Amino acid sequence: MDECAGSEYVPSNRRSGAVRPDPCAVIILGASGDLTRRKLVPALAGLGRDGFLPDRFCLLGTGRTRSSSSEFFQTIRAGIALHTEGDAVPPAVTDRLAGCTEYVSANLTDPDDLGRFSRALERLETAQGTGGNRLFYLSLPPSTYPATVSQLVQSGLLTRGAPDRGWHRVVVEKPFGTSLDSARLLNGHLRSFLNENQIFRIDHYLGKDTVQNLLILRFGNVIFEPLWDRRYVDHVQITVAEELGVEGRGAYYEEAGALRDMFQNHLLQLLCLVAMEPPVNFSADAVRDEKTKVLRAIRPWTLPEEVAQNSARGQYGPGTIGDRVVPSYRQERNVSPTSSRETYAACRFLVDNWRWQGVPFYLRSGKRMPGRLSEIFIQFRTVPHMMFKATDRADIGANSMAIRIQPNEGISITFEAKVPGVEFNLRPVRLDFSYQTAFKTPPPSAYQTLLLQALQGDATLFTRRDEAEAQWEIIDPILSAWESTRAPSFPNYDPGSWGPSRADELIQRDGREWHNP
Ligand code: BG6
């Protein structure tokens, strides 16, 4: 597809109306973990490079690992060089971060450590003149969230509402609970200390440009929305496939599995953005109200036979991907050799409302698939009356739209065209939009976008309390049914394949096929 003339890309720091966040301190709890080095600090460096770090800013990391501030910065300096997406970070930006970053080894449940941590924060804030605004980032095991937040509140470092000396916010990493009950408990706990507008539950999929573009595609254009319902859409497929295995996260994955790790958050969020009604405006609550309505309209699969009929699970065995030999899930570190944890899941959902009645949404996600691919595939219906007799294809006019979240970000639409020649033959052709071709720049990292939004106090791209619980309400019964029935004989799919045969049967029962690009 040709891009419109004159649609020259304007770098984010020159986008009109974009404002730098207020002066503030970012405090990472659990800063010695991988997330800080691989995602958070590179995202802050990316913000610095693009002109979005506040003029007065400081970063305080804390964790149980013993390390000095300079050792900590050496680690994150390497992280900035390796993991910042987009253009390289200029040395001046890295040096600026080095000048306002400290690390305190501390166990915040120990009063002495808490005192040291608190003094370090106040010293750093005074030196950098950040005015008391604080963004706490909980990069910790979820079981420690309640105790940590209550320590911060009791010590006066974190205050409900708008404290006299600036705003206080908390970013909560996923997984947000491990079940509906635990999520409710956690929400209750956070809300006993903080107002909802201080809590930022992160789902990094919402930080992806291509995911946000779903809103623009649907509500910033006039041509798609009239087709976006049961009259024209036959079904929707949402695929998040990864070539990677569990990559050293065996212990976590044994607890989580694909359904908790990917469906409860990322895949259901994608479904919401495809299925939601137009929000009244682009404010955090208006957008989240509409997403929550979709979640509430998803027909819950509660009976074991409904779950069996509408879901499939799998676990990868040993094998090869390309010329690489890869171990089975059960051979991964910290994984039981008899594990029945799923590394692949597929679900069929129905959205019981006027727009989507009878349109199945097929969702699937797995590790060790043929490649990395996140895609939303909209299959439209066939034409109501076929007047072109000179063709032997049954699927004529069944247009489709593939929205590639990653990689090769873009959108393809297929439609029928006449094959050149004297005969009257039709063949599907493709209209392609590529982000890279149109904008000539890679998207920012999801964490860069989300950190900026949190610094600006905009929760549109974060999950609200009721939304998080509604997601669990859909996933919980499936998990319970799976736990109470015998798991299929695992492993049941080969690395590099598109998952277990049961997942094919799930969609084939409806006379449809997975879109495997
Ligand atoms: C995380 C999951 O939330 O998302 C991981 O915990 C998964 O298991 C990752 O690999 C996928 O994210 P992305 O952005 O690479 O698609």
341-360 pLDDT per residue, tens: 999 999 999 999 999 999 99
Q: What does the pLDDT read at residue 86?
A: 82
Q: What does the pLDDT read at residue 3?
A: 41
Ligand 1 neighbourhood includes 242 CB (under 6 angstroms):
yes
Q: For residue 302, give every residue at least 6 positions away whose Cβ sits within 8 Å of its Cβ, in sequence order, or none.
A: 477, 481
Indicate whether 91 pLDDT > 50: yes
Taking each helix axis from N to C end, the angle separating 91-99 and 69-83, rounded to the nearest 10 degrees, works out to 150
Residue nearest to atom 8 of ligand 1 (CA): 261
Indicate whether 6 pLDDT > 70: no
Q: What does the pLDDT read at residue 390?
A: 59
Residue nearest to atom 13 of ligand 1 (CA): 205
Answer yes or no: 168 catalytic.
no
CA distance 57 to 25: 6
Whole-number CA gyration radius for the chain: 24
356-412 pLDDT per residue, tens: 999 999 999 999 999 999 999 999 999 888 788 656 676 777 899 999 999 999 999
Superfamily (CATH) of domain 206-508: Dihydrodipicolinate Reductase; domain 2 (3.30.360.10)
Question: Which of 83, 189, 266, 385 is labelled catalytic?
Answer: 266
Q: What average pLDDT does the structure give for the chain?
A: 92
| pTM (2 d.p.) | 0.94
226-247 pLDDT per residue, tens: 999 999 999 999 999 999 999 8
Phi, psi torsion values for 345, nearest 5 degrees: -145, 150
Cβ contact 400:423 at 8 Å: no
Cβ contact 93:84 at 8 Å: no
Indicate whether 1 pLDDT > 50: no
Cβ contact 450:207 at 8 Å: yes
- Alpha carbon of 266 to ligand 1 centroid (Å): 9
CA distance 259 to 345: 6
The secondary structure of 164-228 as a DSSP string is: TT--EEEEEPSP--SSHHHHHHHHHHHHHHS-GGGEEE--GGGGSHHHHHHHHHHHS-SSSGGG-
265-324 pLDDT per residue, tens: 999 999 999 999 999 999 999 999 999 999 999 999 999 999 999 999 999 999 998 889
Task: Give the distance between the most distant pair of CA atoms in the chain.
Answer: 87
